[in-house]
Structures are given as C-alpha cells and as structure tokens.
Amino acid sequence: MDDLLFSNFIGPGAENIDTLRNLLNKVIDFHEGWRKSYYQEDDTLFPPSILDTKSFEKELEIFLERSKKNLPYFHPRYVAQMLKDPTIPTILGYLTFMMSNPNNHAYEGGPVTTEMEMEVTDLLKRFVGYNADGWGHLTSGGSLANLEALWAARDTYGQGKVLFSEVSHYSWKRICKILSIPDYKEISVDSNFRINLNALEDELKKENTLMVVANLGSTGSGSVDDIEGILSLLNKYNFHLHIDAAYGGFFRSLILDSDYKIIPGFQTVPEEYLYRQLIALQEADSLTIDPHKHGAVSYGAGAVLYRNMELQQAILNTAPYTYHKTDKPNIGMFSLEGSRPGAMAAATYLTFRALPPHFHGLGKLVNSSYLSARHLYEEIEKTQDFANLSKPDLDINCFFNRPGKKDITELNTKSLKLYNRLSVENAKPEFILSKFVISPEIAKTVLSDYINSQNENLISLRTVNIKHWGSLDNFRYIDLLVKELEIIANN
C-alpha cells in the first residue's frame, strides 16, 4: 500500500498523531523565532511576572469537553456527508499563517499568502486545462464561487435565462434571486440524475439563454452531466457554460500524469463516460471547484475559475484606503468577497505541494474513493434485500431496501427504519449514513415501475465515500457496512 495514503493523515485512530505533534512544535518554534526577529531593540510591553491563565484554561477545559459531542467525521464508519480528515499539510499550513492572520483582500494585507494563492490558482488553471489567459481565485466555498461566476457572466453579457438541472445545488435558485434573475429554470433529469439534453434543448430554443450550468458531481447522487452533449448544444445556441465541479472537479486528477497531461485511453478510469466528461471539463467558460472537498483541504477553500480574462473586468472594484501596491496582485479588486483568510490559501498551497492534483498524488486518494463506491455498488447488486437507485458516476452511492411490492410508501418505510438505526438519529450507530430525498417527479423517472399512489417523495439511503479509507484492507469497511445493512433488514 502506498505511503501517501497514510503519511499525510492523522488517521482514524490517531495513528499518526506523534508526527503531527512533532511538526506542530516545529511550526510553533518557527513562529516564536519569527516574531522575535522583528524590532529587537524594543522593550517588551508584557509585565515580568508570570501571567495568570487559569481562567482561560478552565474555559478551555469546558470547550474541549463540549467538543466530545462532535461526530467522528474522520472515521471510515462515517459516510453521511462530504466530510473527511484534513491532511497534516493542511493543518500545518493553516496554523503557520493563522497565528499572524494575513488577509488576502489586498497584497499588503498578505503578501506571502497572496502569492501562494496565485500559485494555487495557476496550478488549478493548469489542472483543469485552462491557458495562461484565464483567471481565478479561492473563495470561502462553492456557493460563493457559483454566485460570483453568474454575476460576472451577467454583467459581461447582459440579462438572460439561467438553466440548470433539478438536482443541481440548492444555491443556484438562491443565487438567481440574489442577482434579480427571475428567468431561471430547473431542467429534468434522466434515470442517472443527469440533465436531460432533449429538455435542455427545448428550453434553449425558446429565448435568449445567459448561462447553462452542468454538474460534475451533483451534491445528492454525485451524478455527472453529459458535458460533451451540452458542448454540442453550445455550438448551436450561444450561452455561457459554467460547470459546477465543486464536488467532482478533482476527479480529473485520475486522468492526468505528473505533467498534467491527459493519460490516454482508460488506463486509470474504467468508465469511458466519466473519462470523456473529465476531459471536456476544460471547455467550460467558468467553473467552480472546491479544494475543501476532494482537494484534501479543510473547509473554507472553494475556488472559481474563468477561461476568459474578460470576466475579471466585469467585477472590478477598488477603494481609496487599500490596493495601494499596484505592481502586485490585489485579489479583492476582482472578487465578490473582500476579506479572505490568507491562512486558507497557505493551507491549500502546502497541501498541493505534498499532494499535487494528478494521478500520482491526489489522484491516489480520489481513486480510492472511486473504487470504494464501485465496490459498494457491486456488493449491493449481489444482495437479495437491496437495490441500487443508480450506478454512481463518482463516489456517492444511493440504494434502498427492496420492499415486498414495488410501492414507494413501503420503500420509504424500510429506508427510514434503516436510517434511524444507521444515522445521527441513533446515539450509537454502527455506521453513520445519510438519506437522499427526491421528488415524486424524479422518482417516476428513476423507478418508473413503482407505484406512488400517495405522490410521496422517494427516500433512499446514501453514502458519501469521500474518505479514502473505504478501499483499504480489501474494502473491509464497505463489506462491514453491507453486512450490517442485511442484519438490520432481516430483523
């Protein structure tokens, strides 16, 4: 087994905690020396007596006791949401600069971390296949990246219709309302939760469309839209193509060698459909990609990228009290957010130095997640009691306990029984899963032969295999999960 899968992580059982402790001490020692190197001739402001920290230490004890109620997001038995262990490089990178608190709104607010952010952005542009003429920056998350991309497109090209699938991230409807874009529409999906190209073209024929949003990893099921098919429509109808690759963007690391060239054939991705969409990603006019998901960085690191520098000018802004270093990058002039933590840029930078986003780096982690989902899908297929809702495009599985008859009400009852045992609803669950709730309309497409006399939402079980632990030890935890599901279903 590759050391890369272990050496960069604390581990589910804190197996690597001594490494982290030693490296944290190294960071703290560095920070001490760095502070002391400035203005050494100045007298200290601190009194010579030992300062009393007892009151703070008491509050810390209370704080740490309260933190015990947090969920074990780091463990392979937790597969409910898009949560995973931050890497040790992420922790060290963040802590190093968090203690000085730079602000990447302007170069003078964080010169080192601004340069790190620009290097990260240049790497991400290269990673997705953009050339040097593109633009981008980090954001606090995918929703802000989506908002900025639509804002930039609207102010560049003018008003128009915005189209996205009915399983797209909920932020898109909010964003359209925030930007006063009333003309938006959710397009139906097929049985794989991918946007229906025929329905999309029907809308494109009607009137001027500003933007079409394609998903590369929908939040609910991880579905990947037919980007190639959407690009063929782009040749017929003029619109801005934004790819929401917040979750699935780093799956492109599966098809890139260490020089960020596309690995030919299907050597690293056995599914031709996914391989082709990952290549097509580079044709997007703009895209959202989250380092804090499959980029192995802790939460607080999204990113927005633009293929055309023209979009940068649409959101240009300045202020009389900042941006004075005109020969250096001032990211806040071209971003929706003003103040942004330089520490997050540093964390992302150091993480990508340790785990570069190609197949021989970050791709090893992503591949492990991908294999976990494929294995779970195959094991579910083998059972008598369960059925897959769809085949996963990435690493999110949706499945259900087969009812005695093909009835949505009975299916939902069985799903909720399992969910109540294997979720946060149970004080001591063997595994922690989530549920995927879809509308009656989508349910009719996905399970067309099921009766839904009450016109109910469909409830399935859902696992997010974002952690790479699932494939280790010959899929030990995946197999344990399937065994536990069968035990509950038969009792």
pLDDT for residue 5:
84
User: What's the average model confidence in pLDDT over 473-487?
Assistant: 97
- CA neighbours closer than 13 Å in the CB half-sphere of residue 422: 29
Predicted confidence band of residue 280 (pLDDT cuts 50, 70, 90): very high
User: What's the average model confidence in pLDDT over 424-444?
Assistant: 97
pLDDT for residue 51:
74
User: What's the average model confidence in pLDDT over 234-245?
Assistant: 96
pLDDT for residue 228:
98
CATH 3.40.640.10 fits 107-362, yes or no: yes
User: What's the average model confidence in pLDDT over 32-40?
Assistant: 95
> Which tokens sit at 17?
């905690």
User: What's the average model confidence in pLDDT over 9-21?
Assistant: 96
Distance of alpha carbon 373 from alpha carbon 464, whole angstroms: 8
pLDDT for residue 318:
63
Residue-wise pLDDT tens digits, 111-126: 999 999 999 999 999 9
pLDDT for residue 111:
94
pLDDT for residue 57:
92
Topology of 363-489 in CATH? Aspartate Aminotransferase, domain 1 (3.90.1150)
Tell me if 141 sits within 8 A of 292, measured CB to CB: yes
pLDDT for residue 8:
95
Task: Name the residue among 395, 403, 402, 400 with its Cα closest to residue 376.
Answer: 395
User: What's the average model confidence in pLDDT over 277-304?
Assistant: 97
Distance of alpha carbon 333 from alpha carbon 91, whole angstroms: 28
Task: Indicate the range of 1-5, 18-22, 100-104, 368-372 predicted with least confidence.
Answer: 1-5
pLDDT for residue 327 is more than 80: no
Distance of alpha carbon 188 from alpha carbon 203, whole angstroms: 11
Predicted confidence band of residue 274 (pLDDT cuts 50, 70, 90): very high
User: What's the average model confidence in pLDDT over 469-477?
Assistant: 95
- CA neighbours closer than 13 Å in the CB half-sphere of residue 203: 24
pLDDT for residue 311 is more than 90: no
The label of the residue with tokens 């996914």 reads 274
User: What's the average model confidence in pLDDT over 191-197?
Assistant: 98
Higher local confidence (pLDDT), 52 or 178: 178
The label of the residue with tokens 């409910």 reads 80
E-state strands within 324-477: 386-388, 396-401, 434-438, 458-464
The label of the residue with tokens 């991230």 reads 169
pLDDT for residue 323:
52
The percentage of residues in the chain with a pLDDT greater than 70, rounded to a whole number, is 98
Q: Pairing between strand 286-289 and 302-306?
A: antiparallel
- Residue spans of the domains in the chain: they are 107-362, 363-489
pLDDT for residue 241 is more than 80: yes
Quote the mean pLDDT of the chain.
Answer: 94
CA distances from 163 to 150, 204, 238, 351, 377 (A): 11, 9, 13, 35, 31
Predicted confidence band of residue 53 (pLDDT cuts 50, 70, 90): confident
pLDDT for residue 72:
95
Task: Name the residue among 360, 364, 324, 385 with its Cα closest to residue 469.
Answer: 364
Distance of alpha carbon 330 from alpha carbon 219, whole angstroms: 32
Predicted confidence band of residue 54 (pLDDT cuts 50, 70, 90): confident
Distance of alpha carbon 453 from alpha carbon 261, whole angstroms: 52
Can you say whether the dihedral through the CA atoms of 68, 74, 78, 79 is positive or negative?
Answer: positive
